[in-house]
Structure 1
Amino acid sequence: MAVEGGAKCVKYLLFFFNFIFWVCGLALIVLGIVAYVHIHNTAVTNISASPAVWLIVVGVVIFFIAFFGCCGAWKENYCMVTTFAVILSIIIICEIAGAIAAYIFRGNLNGVLDQGFKEAFAKYNTSIETKKAIDSLQQELKCCGANSSDDWVNFSTSHTSVPDSCCKNMTDNCGKGAIHDSSIIYTNGCQPAVETLLKKSMLWIAVGALVIAFIQITGIVLACVLMRAIRSGYEVM
């Protein structure tokens, strides 16, 4: 027995909201990828990419669950709609847990970056991968060292040189003897720039997650109303 009246309106609303969920799932995947790329670009640190990967996983799950919810609403299947509501509730709980973890991580970001940069600088002359990552970071963010160019004081035996990637106009041996020459090299450190970049990414992720969570809660309410209407129809039969 098909639902009628107001319940039929809820059915179509739920179908529409599931389309929104589909878009939200796609948005989470994109946000996760952007966050992962930003974290990957700071590979000189020991920052974990787990939050970004978690965001991508949640986005993929929502992407497919939305299709499941659309089918349940269209076919007025009580079991499918109920399963959709339960899974969506679990996803919201996971998102809240992820938001709490991100907030806690945000408070420790400065310490994590500081330790990460120290370890990276120690491996600059021995690890090709670390060297490439640091050089790329310094050129992209127009910075030198963690807090300043002084962090490269042990880069060479003369204690006056910095990597060529610190130079404003990067050429071979341009950083030789230029540790304090602001006309040749960038003297500002990379850590503040990286911290600002990561915090900005986290802020956008938080805003996106809040908007998506609101839409998800609306979907759960609609699913519950439709479940009740479907069940009432079964009881009448």
Structure 2
Amino acid sequence: MSLPTLYSFRRCPYAMRARLGILLSGTSVSLREILLKHKPEPMLAASPKGTVPVLILQDGSIIDESLDIMGWALGLGLNDPHNLLLTDNPQRQEQAKTLIDNNDNEFKSWLDKYKYADRHPEQSEIFYRAEGEKFIAQLEHLLGKHQQLLSDSASIADFAIFPFIRQFAGVDRTWFNQAPYPNVQRWLACHLESPIFASIMEKYPTWLDSNEEFIFGD
């Protein structure tokens, strides 16, 4: 039986999100690694917006939002061996949703402006970083209570958010390592040094160059 096809770009935090959900659910997909500057026509035909990840299911259905791919992989709780979706705790479910919404709808905008400050001369890099730090400070507070964002066990909030904090930290690694966010630094290092992250960051030849698909997941 054929597998669903996932178009992915290794360094994209949204694609990381999708691969994390797939790996942690024990699901398998056929991975097509792409370059964003050279997008394959079949991917654009499936999802004209031209962003990754894009998942094509066996019945031809398309899922092209990273959180939706995580939800599909985890079976809305049915394929969720680590209880990432917190189905037994509606209060924490809502907290996770709020954190992810804040990451996607507020922090990501400041992250992009901080990372590409030369494209946004209206304010300085320091200004954009300070705006992003408001979310970092919120995470720092939460991580002062638990090892992970909502408890001592990682949830969908941790896996959906840390790829973006990785990007924020990477803009100026010297500053980040000295910044007053020891809990965020610890938490981020924990995820970046994990076997799970190593697995989703394995390098594959690009699909257009090699015409090869790779089985990704369990």
Q: TM-score range by the shorter chain?
A: 0.3 to 0.5
Provide the TM-score with structure 2 as the length reference: 0.33
Larger Rg: 1
Provide the TM-score with structure 1 as the length reference: 0.31
Structure number having the greater helix percentage: 1
Structure number having the greater strand percentage: 2
